[in-house]
Structure 1
């Protein structure tokens, strides 16, 4: 292939840009070198965006030096594009600013009735406080405390109180066929997760192969969750492909099992978003109460705690500063939406998307972040109504460095090439073994036809770059290698994007 005429110059010039000190003698000569270096870097980065995988697509990028504010590269920085999960940087910053790093979500158990010895004449209430990290073990501990209070019998039922947030479970323009996906959960003030990934509103199925031709064993967590399993997952021959899928029938908690797992494949897990998370959590709690000797005679039903209900037990989540790690590292959509509704509840008295997003918009305005138009429709980036610009996201990267919560926010960003799950996160396998390993702290974003990266790159000379790359409307193979080559070019490393392997664009069920 014929070499592009600029290509012979761009590598050393980009290297000069990295190595060049930004202060020193000879300002005129230095300025000329800097100008030439920027021109070389611009040519190199422009060439990357000519990759055939971006034919017909939209690309936007902005790179600045955080110490000087100097713009090192720009490409349509004001273009309104889908940010996917890169939007979580905005939600996280707003939550830290508006709720504070020490904010916690509480869950309460209350007695709504008169106590006579060990008998409660009335209802028991499980009141959700919006905690996206509430685990089965937490419910079990609450049940133990209720039993410890002396109650052995509840004549009424168990009220599932999710009134802290509104009753709108799904965000605007969320895909209808993603409703069973763990990354598209129903948002409720009373919800349950199954592990410390903290995917709220989900149950987990563990699949264990049997003998070839026999059904695989399916274990439900939590086992008391009111879901029904239909169909089956078979065991295929050793070495066969894994085709197992778990879906949920819309409007119900019937889980549909299909496909197979290979006999030698070991155990695997599937997470499924449930219908009515509050009902699921309250049903699990009723079983916990029974194990601790507290019998609830009435049914589980939705309801609000009466004003005169008395407190029996309380559980606090970890602080927001800690929850930010799984939120950003693992690109957790459920946590994002809980933060939006919690902002609305705390700052505007209404636990709704509308109230929360209005407060976030006010935060961005007061902070001078609305340098371009934008539209934020949810907290996670799942909605295709979202529109952001590279300029706006890059401005956030600069602003965050001035805030007292910056270190918490920065440390929660994924780190390139670090295999530790709660460090590398969605960047754990990217740019490993390259000069960017450990130097790139950034938020990923991807969905069908969208790939994005926004964050910080530490250069060997001690300078830190803030950058945003947004790619939209590509129809073939993922152009993610273009973004990785972009990062390496900022370090003065010429790297042609990896070739097209024939892999098609990511499925909507493949989210980060």
Structure 2
């Protein structure tokens, strides 16, 4: 009897392993099939699926091939910022003075000093002006001077394409800047366009009001049944924003964003207008470094980094990434530059086990085509950060598949709806011409959390995001039934993922993050 029991046990062990092996084999076969999409023929495809609980690699395809990550680079940047600056880090914008105050008169210059806050709205500058007025200052016997010395004077990163320079997603980076909206698209201005009477010029105005750009209005009001053809584009290398085309009568106000050539001048202009609106006079404006002996009169603090992660990652905001890179350089190495900040990033990545010699980042956002990293590195980072104390805040800031709320679903809110992945995939998207990436976490049908990274380079079609979605859907169904097959024949998600191109602008918006075209 004893021998029989022992024999039974020995037979049971290999029998229990068979379903798991079959499930993993089925997963590999399904992912191979999904990634055999003809649109990927001739393209570079890298994919990795990891099971953190067992430390097993469940799937790999060219895992160590270095590819352009696009906005998946923001995973590296955000993690490095949390490590180097801390989740409670805040940007500060201050107003300082060196001269004495006699009654309502300030004897000397007024300094506006920034540290790179990408969330600074015009209302923030108005509140600073309120504080100056509340202090009883009515006359400044000196100038209002902008101090952007916290960062270096390079506004654009290596490898950014010239064609992107006029657009808000590639706005220059400065220690002083303005965001025109609560997406916090710093370094850009919103241009409002309103129809008038048929055949007449449209009405245009900047928001906030500023002289940092010159708006040239060439657009007309069209017939009510006409198709709107509106272009708002800053002429390359200038401050002239050309509004052309037309909008139909009665079609309401439209808004378009344009980068500004000089964010510091923009911030100074918005602040000096706020002072003037409160009846505070001054002799002139300019730029200068704040003397060390200056005293603080007013200060605006940004939201903490743990909250900033939400618009940063959900909407894939490039300006936030670059401001954080320079802030890391300034705080850790005393130099607010890309070189210093990326040096801090590499050090922090190395401490997490991500070998710096195996990837290249020349900016923080992934907008540069010189950036290069492997899916295996992205997956490894996603795995190791699960043990960090700020992990839950960071994960919640990633786009959530199919979630309708914009600040929850982010760039994934229109993807993977009505599939097993809806609400179960938290991942960072990445899109630019010939590049599409999706890396993050998926909760499977059995409650297991997997890590994955799927990166495509060099495709010639519209971005095959549906292929990446099919991978995520299949992973979400892993362990369901005999093989976890997707509910439809090819595993594709039927929800809309494409962004229409605007033919009146040189960039192809269909290639970009949907948040950049404000379509999600």
- 1:138 aligns to what? 124
Report deviation, 1:130.
1.1
Report deviation, 1:179.
1.3
- 2:297 aligns to what? 312
Deviates more, 1:235-244 or 1:127-136: 235-244
Q: Tell whether 2:259 aligns with 1:285.
A: no
Deviates more, 1:227-236 or 1:394-403: 227-236
Report deviation, 1:249.
2.3
CA distance in 2 between counterparts of 1:56 and 1:288 reads 56
Check conservation: 1:450, 1:471, Cα contact below 8 A.
Answer: yes
Q: How many residues align?
A: 485
Check conservation: 2:354, 2:381, Cα contact below 8 A.
Answer: yes
Q: Deviations over 1:190-211 (max 9, x none)?
A: 1110121011111111222233
3-state SS of paired residue (1:122): coil
Check conservation: 2:500, 2:509, Cα contact below 8 A.
Answer: no
CA distance in 1 between counterparts of 2:499 and 2:42 reads 16
3-state SS of paired residue (1:37): helix
Q: Tell whether 2:170 aligns with 1:184.
A: yes
- 1:271 aligns to what? 257
**Which of 370, 373, 376 is residue 391 of structure 1 equivalent to?**
376
Report deviation, 1:228.
1.2
3-state SS of paired residue (1:244): strand
Kindly report which structure 2 residues correspond to 1:420-435, keeping only aligned pairs within 5 A, or say none.
420-435=405-420
Runs (5+) with no aligned partner, structure 1: 1-24
CA distance in 2 between counterparts of 1:87 and 1:170 reads 17
Check conservation: 1:476, 1:505, Cα contact below 8 A.
Answer: no
- 2:207 aligns to what? 221
Q: Deviations over 1:295-350 (max 9, x none)?
A: 1121x212111122221111111100110000000000000000000000111111
Report deviation, 1:242.
2.9
CA distance in 1 between counterparts of 2:463 and 2:179 reads 31
- 2:28 aligns to what? 42
- 1:347 aligns to what? 332
Report deviation, 1:509.
4.5
3-state SS of paired residue (1:305): coil
Check conservation: 1:91, 1:379, Cα contact below 8 A.
Answer: yes
CA distance in 2 between counterparts of 1:143 and 1:493 reads 61
CA distance in 1 between counterparts of 2:55 and 2:196 reads 60
3-state SS of paired residue (1:460): coil
**Which of 335, 338, 351 is residue 366 of structure 1 equivalent to?**
351
- 1:151 aligns to what? 137
- 1:209 aligns to what? 195
**RMSD between superposed Cα atoms in Å:** 1.9
CA distance in 2 between counterparts of 1:167 and 1:426 reads 31
CA distance in 2 between counterparts of 1:353 and 1:142 reads 29
Q: Tell whether 2:436 aligns with 1:451.
A: yes
Check conservation: 2:204, 2:217, Cα contact below 8 A.
Answer: no
Q: Tell whether 2:84 aligns with 1:98.
A: yes
- 2:310 aligns to what? 325
Residues 74/505 of structure 1: CA separation in 2 closer, same or farther (3 Å cut) = farther
Q: Deviations over 1:227-273 (max 9, x none)?
A: 21113222233343332111112333211111122335432211111
Report deviation, 1:225.
4.0
Runs (5+) with no aligned partner, structure 2: 1-10, 478-483, 502-506, 514-520
Check conservation: 2:361, 2:370, Cα contact below 8 A.
Answer: yes
Q: Deviations over 1:359-418 (max 9, x none)?
A: 110111111022871101111000011001110000011111010000010000000111
3-state SS of paired residue (2:431): strand
3-state SS of paired residue (1:436): coil
Check conservation: 2:224, 2:248, Cα contact below 8 A.
Answer: yes
**What's the TM-score, normalizing by structure 1?**
0.91
CA distance in 1 between counterparts of 2:170 and 2:124 reads 23
Residues 505/35 of structure 1: CA separation in 2 closer, same or farther (3 Å cut) = farther
Report deviation, 1:434.
1.2
3-state SS of paired residue (2:289): coil
**What's the TM-score, normalizing by structure 2?**
0.90
Residues 180/285 of structure 1: CA separation in 2 closer, same or farther (3 Å cut) = same
Residues 504/336 of structure 1: CA separation in 2 closer, same or farther (3 Å cut) = closer
- 1:246 aligns to what? 232
- 1:14 aligns to what? none
Kindly report which structure 2 residues correspond to 1:455-474, keeping only aligned pairs within 5 A, or say none.
455-474=440-459
Check conservation: 1:82, 1:472, Cα contact below 8 A.
Answer: yes
Report deviation, 1:215.
2.4
3-state SS of paired residue (2:107): strand
3-state SS of paired residue (1:401): helix
Check conservation: 1:178, 1:509, Cα contact below 8 A.
Answer: no
- 1:15 aligns to what? none
- 1:199 aligns to what? 185
**Which of 29, 38, 58 is residue 72 of structure 1 equivalent to?**
58
